[in-house]
Chains A and B, each alone.
Chain A
Amino acid sequence: MTAVADALEMERVESHLHPEGSFEVDDHAVPTGREEIWRFTPLKRLRGLHTDAVLDGSAVDAAYDAPEGVAIEQIDRGDLRLGSSGFVPTDRIAARVWHEAGRRFAVTIPADAELDRPVVVTLTGTELEPATATHAVITAGRHSRATVVLRFVGSATLADNVEMVVGDGAELTVVSIDDWADDAVHVGHRHAQVGRDAHFKHVDVTFGGTVVRHDTTAEYAGPGGEVEMLGLYFADAGQHIEHRLFVDHTAPQTKSHVTYKGALQGEGAHTVWIGNVLIRKVAEGIETYEENRNLVLTDGCQADSVPNLEIETGEIKGAGHASATGRFDDEQLFYLRSRGIAEDEARRLVVHGFFNDLIRRIDVPELEEQLAVTVEKELARNLLAEAAR
């Protein structure tokens, strides 16, 4: 390989999966639903986020709770932290948020800090209209260790961008929990830049809302970085939950591991999981694995699951993906019931079992109980619905 070719390779090449972004709203045509990136999304239910809905709502309250040493600031449009993750909007909604966000804030964890409890940002929606847009930048300084929890509750129409900058050698866990009321619409874009030898864990828990679509993307600022993306979702009747992931292996010796698990129940429950991984030519010696599993609990649900792996170098340690969507396993239910366990209890055990290893991997003790309660709540709905059949 010549030096020139090498240098060219360092340029951002265009992935066929991911067009180059742009900050200009007008560079992004209003989607029609035929575009690859929009074909699964019920545009009509986005309340105009993708067209021209006014985004200046203030119907989302923010509450911040952070251990000492962590700075949480409201920031202005011109603040240099905006865009510092390398984030460039790849669709119209993200570009609109960039320009029109009514709230911009930064969470900064200083270098070498080791937080003894998570930073918790709770965004509470109080009204569906007008829509609201927020832009957040979370920066974990070099060699810091921190967990940041973003919780979304209440009713709102929200478009948000979240940038995450993980400094060299830092360990950052960001947990996003969509625990919205049934009528919320949330389109989120999250982008992480992972420093040299840094470890970034993104946990995306989506339960509530009527339409939730999250684009979660990561790139590497240096070699040795690790990305772990975990997702847990539960779609009920009529609910659309969509996750679009893109891990861009832009540096050698980096790792990514993606596991998303979801359960679906009720008429019209729809989940979409798109897992894109691009291994660039420079990204030698990398390892990647992505996995999506769906458990379909009732008739009338649809789970779309599309893993995509683009490999531009053969010099890698490993790359793989898996995707499986299955119904309740009758043999498992029979086995449990043959021991006297009633059907609804047996179903609960199987679903808990399905999510269990994932919940364990989230590994944020403060959240474990809350997550277990939320799964329980979702299951209670299912069981009530089942009993009514």
Chain B
Amino acid sequence: MSTPSTDSGRRLEIQDLHVTVKTDHEDKEILKGVTLTINAGETHAIMGPNGSGKSTLAYSIAGHPKYTVTSGSVTLDGQDVLAMTVDQRARAGLFLAMQYPVEVPGVSVSNFLRTAKTALDGEAPKLRTWVKDVNTALEQLNLDPTFGTRSVNEGFSGGEKKRHEIAQLELLNPKFAVLDETDSGLDIDALKIVAEGVNRFRGQDGKGVLLITHYTRILRYIEPDFVHVFVAGRVAESGGSELAEELEAHGYDKYVKAASV
């Protein structure tokens, strides 16, 4: 698997991924063999019931220390992602918009963004264009410029936190973005604003998106190329956007039952 194959094109490839989390008395397996390939230029939606392991998948890709990969692989453009540290993964081109963005008291948004951009590019951004870029990114997500001086996510409303994630997506401009329930907690106007941001991002050449959601409503604004049903730690079914419509109509019941036999 380590030999670079001729088709090691631009893609995020997840192969038979097993992941455990440490509980008080055992290592509990949450992901039970996830296989998924997202080619550059594609948008995949993952839908699944609460607790099925969607966030676990997102965090495992990003390298959260809470989760242990016990087998399987994740590669980005043929590179072994699992061998990388959290920040190396980001520098390799991965981005995770979190379901619950973390507050970092005392660190201003503008300092945070500048530090991140500098780390990703290996050099500090040019001051004049950067300030403009930041203001534009915030503005486009309907966050006024004063957010730049506020502490990262501290005191942000739920919706502001989500919009701040997408502002980061646009500014940091990764290759592949995992969006974990970025749509939940947003009112309809905010949902449109966020969707526009994601669409601007994926409108560029060769960007991949893995969009985790409970609701089909965001898929009306961000149309996926593929939809996967995620149940009990693995992909239970894959299809086109018609699958989302079916889930909307009939729920996960059928898949949950199938997974529990």
Can you name 17 A-B pairs with beta carbons within 8 Å?
Answer: A331-B102, A332-B102, A334-B62, A335-B104, A337-B86, A339-B87, A339-B168, A340-B90, A341-B90, A341-B115, A342-B119, A349-B104, A350-B107, A352-B106, A353-B104, A356-B105, A356-B106
Measured between alpha carbons, how far is A224 from B213 in the docked complex, in Å?
57
- Whether A349 contacts B107 by the Cβ 8 Å rule is yes
Task: Give the Cβ gap from A137 to chain B, nearest Cβ, in Å.
Answer: 36
Q: Which residues 325-361 in A have Cβ within 8 Å of B in the complex?
A: 329-332, 334-343, 345-346, 349-350, 352-357
- A348 closest partner in B (C-beta): B115
Interface residues in A, total, Cβ within 8 A: 24
Residue of B nearest to A341 (CB): B119
Q: Are B104 and A343 in contact (CB under 8 A)?
A: no
Given known contacts A338-B96, A340-B90, A343-B85, A349 and B115 CB-to-CB distance under 8 angstroms: yes
Which B positions have Cβ atoms within 8 angstroms of A? 62-66, 85-87, 89-91, 95-96, 98, 101-107, 111-112, 115-116, 119-120, 151-152, 168, 172
A residues contacting B by CB (< 8 A) are 329-332, 334-343, 345-346, 349-350, 352-357
Name A's interface SS: helix
Distance between B79 CB and nearest chain A CB, rounded to angstroms: 15
Shortest Cβ gap from A373 to chain B (Å): 17
A-B contact count (CB 8 A): 86
Closest chain B CB from A343 CB (angstroms): 7
Report yes or no: A339 in contact with B119, Cβ–Cβ below 8 A. Answer: yes
Q: Considering the complex of A and B, which 9 residue pairs feature the smallest CB-CB distances, nearest first?
A: A353-B106, A356-B106, A340-B90, A339-B116, A335-B102, A353-B107, A337-B86, A340-B119, A340-B120
Q: Which residues of B contact A350 (CB under 8 A)?
A: 104, 107
Q: Which of A330, A337, A356, A357 contacts B87 (CB 8 A)?
A: A337
Asked if B87 and A340 make an inter-chain contact with CB atoms under 8 angstroms apart, the answer reads: yes
CA separation between A341 and B102, bound complex, in Å? 15
A387 CB to closest chain B CB, in angstroms?
14
- Contact of B116 (CB < 8 Å), options: A331, A334, A341, A354: A341
In the complex, A361→B35 CA distance in Å? 52
Q: How far is the CA of A346 from the CA of B103 in the complex (A)?
A: 13
Smallest Cβ distance from A376 to chain B, in angstroms? Answer: 14
Query: Do the beta carbons of A340 and B172 come within 8 Å of each other?
Result: yes
Which residues of chain A are near B116, meaning CB under 8 Å?
Answer: 336, 339-341
Residues of A within 8 A of B98 (CB): 335, 338
Contact of A355 among B86, B89, B106 (CB under 8 A): B106
Which chain B positions have C-beta within 8 A of A352?
Answer: 106-107
Nearest-neighbor residue (CB-CB) of A357 within chain B? B106
B172 CB, nearest partner CB in chain A, Å? 6
Q: Is the CB of B172 within 8 A of A339?
A: yes
Q: Is the CB of A343 within 8 A of B107?
A: no
CB distance from A1 to the nearest CB of B (A): 44
Supplied contacts A341-B115, A341-B116, A357-B105, 10 more A-B pairs, CB within 8 Å:
A337-B85, A338-B90, A338-B96, A339-B95, A340-B90, A345-B119, A349-B112, A349-B115, A354-B105, A356-B107
Bound together, the chains give a CA A135 to CA B116 distance in angstroms of 49
Given the known interface contacts A334-B102, A352-B106, A356-B106, the answer about A339 and B111 at a Cβ–Cβ threshold of 8 Å is: no
The chain A residue with its CB closest to the CB of B151 is A353
Give CA–CA (A339, B168) in the complex, Å: 9
C-alpha gap A162/B50 in the complex (Å): 62
CB distance from B99 to the nearest CB of A (A): 12
Contacts of B120 in A (CB 8 A): 339-340
A336 to B106, CA, bound (A): 13
Bound CA–CA A342/B111 (angstroms): 15
